[in-house]
Amino acid sequence: MSDNENLTSQDIAQIEADVDAVMKKYDRESNVRVWEGTPAVVIRWLSALFSVYCIYVTLFSTAMPEVRLNVFLGLILIIGYLHYPIKKSSGEIKPGLGDSISIPLTLDTTPRVNAIPVYDVIIMLAGAVPFFYFAINAESIIKLALRVTSPRNPNYYFMISMAVIAILSTMELCRRCVGIPILCVVGVLMAYAFSTVRFGKVIYDLYYSTGDGLRSTPIEVCAKYIVVFIIFGAFLERTGISTFFINLANAIAGASAGGPAKVAVISSALCGMVSGSSVGNTVTTGSVTIPMMKRTGYKPEFAGAVEAAASTGGQIMPPIMGAAAFLMAEYMGIPYSQVALKAILPAVLYFAGIYIAVHLEAKKLGLKGIPKEELPRIIKLLPKIYLLLPLIILVVMVSMNIYTMQFSAAIAIGIAILVGLFNSDERITIKKIIDALEAGGRGTITVAVACAMAGLVAGCITSTGLASELITMVVNVSGGHAFIALVLTMICCIILGMGVPTTANYCIMAATCAPILMAPGIGIEKICAHFFVFYFGIVADITPPVALAAYAGSAIAKAPPMKTAFNATKLAIGAFIVPYIFAFTPAMLFENVSPIINITGAGPVLTQILIILEIILICATALLGIFGVAAALNGYLFRPMNILFRVIICAGGLSMLVPGIVSDLIGLMLVGFVFTVQYMKREAVSAGA
């Protein structure tokens, strides 16, 4: 069917090594210790048992938060230090097997095997002990309240030392598995807090308080919801659903013009929804789609950009949307099902923009699709449709609001195991179940540490009362203009997101920038403000100068990294425009939707029908609007467009993205004018030929 079928086992092993090399270079989470033999088995079982423990606790534990969260953090430190060394493996990227292999790169490095320095063991144990001590003595510490860090407390130095060691060891683990940028934010805020507030009060707020600091909302949501969904994602991947998604995308779009790029968009949207990692999704699906795009005729930098942009968008794809969606539900105070519902239209616009762009690029270059005889047939894929059952059951259970989210996820895990038993191509086994539990436990480390750091940020802001000062400063700088405040917030989100996972980025922005946007002086609605910071935290992965997903795509495509990043930014233009639209017009998030026509005396049934019609109109005009913007950026519709036509169709597209009858009519006329002229010119050229 494809070139990959002719690869030898040695070639396949090389491909896997190359994938690992790119992941290690661009994904900090992949830089882990190398364990072999008995140590590997021990670490594997520890991670798996940690996942089992997390599922049990989130479903059945009745312990107070101070006990649950301290044990959770203590175990995270132990598992974390067993996985992450003090620094990355060193090595050089050198040419690999060439274009016939999916990834033409390999990492020349010789990491130490079964090595953990004594100082790492000391840091690990010293950091975990305070959390376990707190869990054991939670009731007495809670009764002491602020007196626990008062100089009058006989155990003052002991309690302070325990807190400091726990905080510093957690920050060091964050540096290893998340990165330095978030530590810079935490460090600056902690320095400010210690300089303005009593030392003991800050330590109490950051460590001993449950409402703020390490055990605030982010880590509570992580331990309660996120961890079980991470484990669910690990099980779902082992059912073979990723292969099904790629085959389905090939069957749907592979034969059309520039088919491989469209396959990349569809498959990355579906796979990214499950994986929740921009870089990981870029590398795994990109190892298949990027070489296909290059062979079809796309430029390497464009092929890498398509995969990076689509993979990054997987985190905004309902119903899972990565880990941040659960935090959004908690911060906004609405059910998770509503978060997923409100994210539908922006996600559709994002991927529609990329899909349209790759279609127009294919038409401009005269590219063909994949021969139909090389593609899977939908009729042959239908027997595998049962692989979607875990996702469908999860969505239904969460939407019904009868069961808790964690219980729904646990049921979905059980369904995923059952589904995997029936998949003869990638049948799930006991080994795969252990693999999934291990991957879930390992995947929880980074998210939990990032959430802990976000808690420290929130704790510093609360302890110092910095939030009101930030609001005053931004309102003054922006002059009360919401647009300027949104631009400043966007810049903050992108800068922070260049080195911080989506979850931590959103937590920090939700604690700092979202309240600023919601302030009376700015006036952005709560849900719109939170979606705004969420979106711009995500697109940081494809925004120069530090666009990790785009750089991973460029490594696979053998393309210039910066060119790939700029192409990815252009392809994902919807993610830079749509947040501004829904910030001012919440109807795009299906919030405060009014009837399409106000009819005096209309009954409730008629009113609901008119509201549904308004939602349909918003969706239709928004899609036409994103089409206009994509065509303008590509410079091609039915034939190349001059600068004047590009400006006109872009203005029309932007007008249609803004919900409203007047703006829609103006946009429709502008887009329709360019569309008609372009079509007539193409027909005239065809007739002349």
pLDDT at 103: 40
- pLDDT for residue 146 is more than 90: no
Q: Which residue has the tokens 């939990």?
A: 448
- CB-count burial class (<10 Å; 0-12, 13-18, 19+) for 129: middle
β-pair type (92-95, 105-108): antiparallel
Residue 596, SS3 per DSSP: coil
pLDDT category at 670 given cuts 50, 70, 90 is very high
Residues 206, 166 contacting (CB under 8 angstroms): no
pLDDT category at 513 given cuts 50, 70, 90 is confident
Least confident of 220-224, 316-320, 381-385: 316-320
In the structure encoding, which two tokens stand for residue 53, read together?
Answer: 């423990």
Least confident of 52-61, 95-104, 612-621: 95-104
- pLDDT for residue 411 is more than 80: yes
Encoded amino acid at 12, one letter: I
Report long-range pairs for 55-59 (Cβ below 8 Å, ≥24 apart): 55/228, 55/231, 55/410, 55/413, 57/223, 58/223, 58/224, 58/225, 58/227, 58/228, 58/406, 59/406, 59/407, 59/410
- pLDDT for residue 604 is more than 80: no
Mean pLDDT of 569-590: 85
The alpha carbon of 122 is separated from its chain's Cα centroid by a whole number of angstroms, namely: 34
In tens, the pLDDT along 77-97 reads 999 999 999 886 533 334 443
pLDDT at 6: 44
- pLDDT for residue 359 is more than 70: yes
Residues 434, 404 contacting (CB under 8 angstroms): no
Domain locations along the chain: 3-451, 596-689
pLDDT at 25: 62
Number of H helices, E strands in the chain: 31, 2
DSSP class of residue 30 equals G
Least confident of 58-72, 83-97, 330-344: 83-97
d(CA 333, CA 319): 18
> Could you give the C-alpha distances from 369 to 7, 252, 350, 375, in angstroms and in order?
23, 11, 23, 10
Least confident of 39-48, 475-484, 607-616: 607-616
pLDDT at 106: 41
pLDDT at 128: 96
In tens, the pLDDT along 361-407 reads 888 888 888 888 888 888 888 888 888 898 888 888 877 777 888 88
In tens, the pLDDT along 258-316 reads 888 888 888 888 776 666 677 777 887 788 788 888 888 888 998 899 988 888 887 88
Q: Is the pTM of this model over 0.85?
A: no
- pLDDT for residue 555 is more than 70: yes
Q: What is the chain's mean pLDDT, rounded?
A: 83
In tens, the pLDDT along 7-61 reads 444 544 555 556 666 666 666 556 788 888 999 999 999 999 999 999 999 989 8
pLDDT at 388: 87
pLDDT at 44: 94
d(CA 556, CA 302): 12
Secondary structure of 383-427 as H, E, C letters? HHHHHHHHHHHHHHHHHHCCCCHHHHHHHHHHHHHHHHHHCCCCC
